[in-house]
Amino acid sequence: MTGTQHVVGAGGRRPVAPNAAQKALLRRLSAVVADTRALLDAARNHWEAGVLAEPSWFARLDALMARGAALAELGHAGGIPQRWIDLARFQGERGTGWRTPQRWPVPQPVQRARLIDDLAAEARDLSDVMAVHAAYRARARSNEPDSQRTRIEATAAVRHERLTSIAALLDLIGPERDRIRPAPDPIWARALAATVRDRDPDLLAQQWRVHAEHEPTSVAAYRLLTDYGDIDFLPDSAIAPIPAVMVEHIAAALRLPPGLAAHDLQLGAATDSAVIAALGEPRCFEFPAPTPGDEQHAGAGPALIHRDSGPSP
């Protein structure tokens, strides 16, 4: 992916040119605006001839307007400046097709840190939902309809897709990525399990039902984009595990004895067998011995064991 070029100033980072994912979104936005303009022009000719529009015309117009708004919202979340959004809309209005400018309009600074904070908050919220889902499912409530379980899992899947798309638009690097997934496996799963392990059953059930019945507006907007194939750039799938994997790992951590499941527990020889039994056999890589001051993060041996269980939030 071609990274966004930035000029850093006191008001934030001023992007000079979009990255590949941002260009793809702007190109798609321009096409949607062009389709909207063509639909309106055709209807105007019919109206002048005294022909009323069919109900399907209004439905198509509503869908195009909603797609344009959803693409703009996603672009803002992914760090695309308003001036570039306006440029894409202007090209669509002209109906001449997308043309990548040789020099992009100079935009206002983008508050990149705030956007990453928002993405990190979304990732944490999704993790919390999956922790509630894993804990509630483990308690085997047989009186809950399958439709609610299916709904919460489907909503989580769309939230994850949206998160990975925003991460691709932001083109996160190094420490920025660590703000989205702050802990390696299996620490993140045990940390999430610890938040729901002793939660009151009635409270857990109430929270689960709220998650199952509530769909954020951002999810509906993103689902519309995927239904029409408007996301035509590669998501940053490595930024966070898919919800189904999160639930599996959290459920495994919940099966550990409470003492072994403490999220800040040192992974030494005494606990490794229990972790393996719950989370599976790790693929081991040898890392250098910890330097002084890092002992609180290391096991008892001379090298650390890294469990390669897939991407982490």
With a cut of 70, say whether residue 46 has pLDDT above it. Answer: no
With a cut of 60, say whether residue 131 has pLDDT above it. Answer: yes
Could you tell me the pLDDT band of residue 195, with boundaries at 50, 70 and 90?
very high
Rounded to the nearest integer, the mean pLDDT of the chain is 81
In sequence order, which residues have a C-beta less than 8 Å from that of residue 179 and are 6 or more positions away?
116, 117, 120
Q: Rounded to whole angstroms, how far apart are CA atoms 12 and 186? A: 35
pTM across the whole model: 0.77
Residue appearing with tokens 């695309």 = 80
Q: Go through the chain and tell me how many residues it has.
A: 313
Residue spans of the domains in the chain: they are: 9-94, 112-264
What pLDDT score does 3 carry?
53
- Say if residues 124 and 183 touch (Cβ distance below 8 Å): no
What's the per-residue H, E or C state across 25-93?
HHHHHHHHHHHHHHHHHHHHHHHHCCCCCCHHHHHHHHHHHHHHHHHHHHHHHCCCCHHHHHHHHHHHH
243-261 pLDDT, tens digit per residue, is: 999 999 999 999 988 766 5
* Average confidence (pLDDT) over 20-43: 95
What pLDDT score does 48 carry?
63
With a cut of 90, say whether residue 34 has pLDDT above it. Answer: yes
What pLDDT score does 145 carry?
79
* Average confidence (pLDDT) over 202-222: 94
Nearest to 16 by CA among 2, 8, 5: 5
Q: Rounded to whole angstroms, how far apart are CA atoms 211 and 129? A: 7
Could you tell me the pLDDT band of residue 140, with boundaries at 50, 70 and 90?
low
262-307 pLDDT, tens digit per residue, is: 545 333 333 334 434 444 443 333 334 444 444 333 333 333 333 4
